[in-house]
A and B are shown apart, each in its own frame.
Chain A
Amino acid sequence: MTDFEDYGDIPAKRFMFVNRKAPYGTVYALEGLEVVLISAAFDQDVCIAFMDDGVFQLVKGQETQTVGMKNFSPTFRALEGYDIEKLYVERESLALRGLSEADLLVPVQVMDSAELGALMAEQDVVISF
């Protein structure tokens, strides 16, 4: 295990991970979260966007015992300790699904499509899950 703190003068790149899938039905949400955690080791400028069904990943009160899967939603609360603090949620996706910011288990920045689109366009790398 190495800490990648000494990158010299190589500037950090801006990474956006875009989450558009609900948890548990497919493995995308869990895999996306693992990639985000691993990316933290490289000291890059990372943000995560949740839109479409991806907003369901952040809903409070997930109980997965009876479907026999691991509830990975508490891990979103660990992101702060990994210095990943920029979590963006698209307002339209929340509203369309009957959700609001108060239903989410971590602090996020809710923004409209245009704002999120503008942020996406500013990234060096955009990765979809």
Chain B
Amino acid sequence: MLHIVNKSPYERNTLESCLRLARKGSKVLLIEDAVTAAVRGGDFAAKLGAAMELMEIYALVPDLAARGLKDRVLPGVRLVDYGGFVDLAAENKPVQSWL
């Protein structure tokens, strides 16, 4: 399944809850403020690194770029554009958009 998260883990527990529930083989897509989780050296990057051993983590490039974070992404995070976002949503069922 695909999990989509749009809240910064530094403000909300959404990503933390998502990673707690997400099973091995799931995909997690970070969009909007959630892309802050993917910043190399950030507190949350370690948790993301651990999660990456079980699942694929994606981040939306336009949201990273808008925040000046495009070149600061933790290695292993897969970068997608809007087309990639659509492909992920179309190819993975079900989709949980975390609020």
Contacts and interface: CB of A to CB of B under 8 A. Distances in A.
B21 A120 contact: yes
Interface in A71-129: 90, 92, 113-114, 116-118, 120-121, 123-126, 128-129
Contact of A117 (B13, B22, B97): B22
B86 interface: no
Interface in B77-99: 93-99
A18 B96 contact: yes
B17 A51 contact: yes
Contacts of B20: 92, 113, 117
Interface residues of A, number: 21
A28 B98 CA distance: 13
B67 interface: no
B17 A120 contact: no
B23 interface: yes
A52 interface: yes
Contacts of A114: 21, 23
Given A28-B99, A128-B98, A121 B26 contact: yes
Given A20-B17, A51-B17, A121-B23, A126 B94 contact: yes
A119 to B, nearest CB: 9
A20 B26 contact: no
Interface of B: 1, 13-14, 17, 20-23, 26, 93-99
A-B residue pairs, 10 tightest by C-beta: A117-B21, A126-B96, A128-B99, A113-B20, A121-B1, A126-B94, A123-B94, A117-B23, A113-B21, A52-B17
Given A117-B23, A128-B96, A128-B97, 20 more contacts: A20-B17, A20-B98, A21-B99, A28-B99, A51-B21, A52-B13, A90-B21, A113-B21, A116-B21, A117-B22, A118-B23, A120-B21, A120-B96, A121-B1, A121-B94, A123-B94, A124-B94, A126-B1, A126-B95, A129-B99
